[in-house]
Each structure stands twice: as structure tokens, then as C-alpha cells.
Amino acid sequence: MVGTAYIEWVYNFYACVYDVVFERFFAEGRRSAVAAIGARPGERILEVGVGTGACIPLFPPGVHFTGIDLSQGMLDEAHEKAAKEGWKNVHLMKMDATKLDFPDDSFDAVLAAYFITTVPDPRAVVQEMKRVCRRGGRLVFVNHFMAPNTFINDLERACAPVLWRVGWRSDLKLDSFLTMTNLRPEKVEFVDRIGLWRTLYCVNHKDAAGPEEVKPKRTFIPQALRTWGKRLATVRIRKRERV
């Protein structure tokens, strides 16, 4: 597991090419997440992990938007866009999402777009999101969670140590995320056909965090092989019973 300082360095490195390299893959998910928030003029919106500010122009005019990010390089890109486009009521600041410098109940909705799998402690991030969002407000996530396919799961687990070195994790399961954050989504939607990206819409009930994440032990036998091995063993037993 890499630390916060390393993640900050990685995204400072990505900053000047992020939109060109990644945004074409993430645009649909951002639109889905902003639509799920359903922001209205006058509402206070916070985005944790605002990055280069790609979500900002998707919000309707009149919202009071605050974006925070740990990477100064990403924020510099967002500031440049804000100045060029003349965005109003937009405040961008450098901040650690696990230690938000805002009073309780400061926002009507909080968004985390493609962010949760880039932080070492997603549980702490979500608890801070709950704290600064008013009771009954909206918490919306769009993120990668492990696909509901055993073979793809094995690939995601195998790649996890390498992908952490480039700034994100591939082995976060949706049920594990919901358990450790004590979130109860009102709606979960797939962004892509494979099921790698999902949008979660949650109402903020101000629940305390759940238990810390328990990661499965690594084994030499992939989950897919174990699953199919059990199925073949079951078939053989049934054949013997018939004989």
C-alpha cells in the first residue's frame, strides 16, 4: 500500500496530460454522477478530488461549488480553466480529503468522481464527506469497483500491486466499500457494459463508519480456478451418485 505523499507526487506528474490521456474514458461517468446529484441553483456542492476541474462545467449555473485536491499540479490546471472560462462561484483549494477543513454540515451534496480508489484510506474520506454534508444531503460516487466476473477479478487482483504504483487500486470490491463506510446506496448504476465503473447515489444519514477493510489473503491459485474446480468436483460427485 502506497502512502499519501506518493499519491500526491503521482498526480502532480499526471497533471499536464491528465485531460488528454484519461478524460475520454471518464467523461460519461462524470456526466452520470453530476446528473445523479441533481444540483439546484443556490446549493453548496463539494467535490473531493476535483482534479483538473472536469466536472465543474457540468453543474448548472448558480451553484456554489467548492473543489479540493491534494495535488497542486491538478489544482493549477483547474485554476487555469476557471480563469479561462470565467466560472462563477467556484472555489478551489489544496486539502487532504481525510482531514477536510470545513465545519459540519457545510454542503448540500458531496461528489467523489474517480477518486475513492486513488486514496489509501477510503473509509476516512467517506466519513469526512458525511461530516461536512448536511443530514439528508446527497453523497455521490462514480468509481471503479471489481467487476462481477470471477476471471476479471483475478486479473484485477493480479494487477493491483502494479496499479497502486501508478496511482490507483484495482481490487476494491463494492460490498467491502459499503461495509467499511456504512453506506446504503439508494441507486447503483453501471457506467460501462463490462461493469468496471459504477455510479452510487446515497442519502447522508450521518452514520458512523463501519469496520476497517479486511483484505482477502493472497493465494497461488486464482479465484476463477478455485471456483471452476469446485464446480467440476460437484459434477463428478453427482455422476458417482447416479451410478
Q: What is the mean pLDDT of residues 195-202?
A: 90
Q: What percent of the chain is predicted at pLDDT more than 90?
A: 58
Alpha carbon of residue 211 to chain centroid: 19
**DSSP assignment string, 131-182:** HHEEEEEEEEEEEE---S-HHHHHHHHHHHHHHHHTT--S---HHHHHHHHT
Alpha carbon of residue 166 to chain centroid: 16
pLDDT, averaged across the chain: 86
pLDDT digits (tens, 9 = 90+) for 60-97: 999 999 999 999 999 999 999 999 999 989 999 999 99
Domains present along the chain, CATH in parentheses: 4-218 (3.40.50.150)
**Phi, psi (rounded to 5 degrees) for 16:** -75, -15
Distance CA 202, CA 173 (A): 17
Q: Return the pLDDT at 171.
A: 85
| Choice among 29-33, 42-46, 157-161, 186-190 with the minimum mean pLDDT | 157-161
Q: Return the pLDDT at 2.
A: 66
- pLDDT > 50? residue 235: no
